[in-house]
């Protein structure tokens, strides 16, 4: 089961649940890793799969993914190996984290124009690097 490792943890750690002792992910390859559980969320909530910083700094990328309230299958993590070589994931190893949060729904409306802001259309790094 996912578990919170500290009292202040916002996310629960999730573990690889493999049928063998480990799986090797070749460099630049992407694979789905079973997490060994399914989840039934209340309507209006989502679970978000996120990377763990310890693996991220090594070059293991966990794609952020949403588990919707109506999904009933096994939860999996989508992992890409960018380490420069093969990378082994061991059975029962912590490989990602999961955050459960409210998921608001909105009505979408087509309009001809939007209100003005100081930022305007500036995006992708426009607020600076520091």
pTM over 0.85, yes/no? no
The reported pLDDT for the residue numbered 130 is: 59
Q: What is the mean pLDDT of the chain?
A: 94
Binning pLDDT at 50, 70 and 90, where does residue 10 land?
very high
29: which 2 tokens? Answer: 């390859």
Q: What percent of the chain has pLDDT over 70?
A: 98
CB atoms within 10 A of CB 81: 22
The reported pLDDT for the residue numbered 129 is: 61
**Structural element, H or E, at residue 53:** helix 53-56
The alpha carbon torsion through 64, 67, 68, 69 (nearest 10 deg) reads -140
CB atoms within 10 A of CB 43: 9
Binning pLDDT at 50, 70 and 90, where does residue 121 land?
confident
Q: Is the pLDDT of residue 126 over 80?
A: no
Q: Is beta strand 94-102 parallel, antiparallel or unpaired with respect to 30-38?
A: unpaired
pLDDT tens sequence across 39-79:
999 999 999 999 998 899 999 999 999 999 999 999 999 99
Residue 31's beta-bridge partner residues? 79
Q: How far apart are CA 60 and CA 31, in angstroms?
A: 11
pLDDT tens sequence across 95-115:
999 999 999 999 999 999 999
CA 104 to mean position of chain CA atoms = 19
Mean pLDDT of 4-12: 95
Tell me which of 21-25, 43-47, 106-110, 119-123 is least confident.
119-123
Q: How far apart are CA 100 and CA 109, in angstroms?
A: 28
62: which 2 tokens? Answer: 């966990």
In 3D space, the residue among 58, 122, 50 whose CA is nearest the CA of residue 88 turns out to be 58
């Amino acid at each position: 089961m996912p578990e919170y490792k500290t009292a202040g943890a916002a996310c629960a750690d999730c573990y690889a649940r493999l049928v063998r002792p480990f799986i090797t992910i070749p460099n630049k390859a992407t694979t789905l890793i079973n997490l060994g559980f399914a989840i039934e969320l209340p309507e209006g909530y989502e679970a978000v799969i996120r990377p763990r910083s310890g693996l991220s700094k090594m070059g293991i990328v966990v794609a952020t993914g949403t588990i919707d309230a109506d999904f009933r299958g096994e939860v999996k993590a989508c992992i890409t190996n960018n380490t420069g070589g093969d990378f082994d994931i061991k059975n029962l190893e912590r490989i990602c984290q999961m955050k459960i949060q409210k998921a608001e729904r909105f009505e979408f409306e087509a309009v001809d124009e939007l209100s003005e802001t100081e930022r305007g259309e500036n995006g992708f790094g426009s607020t600076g690097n520091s």
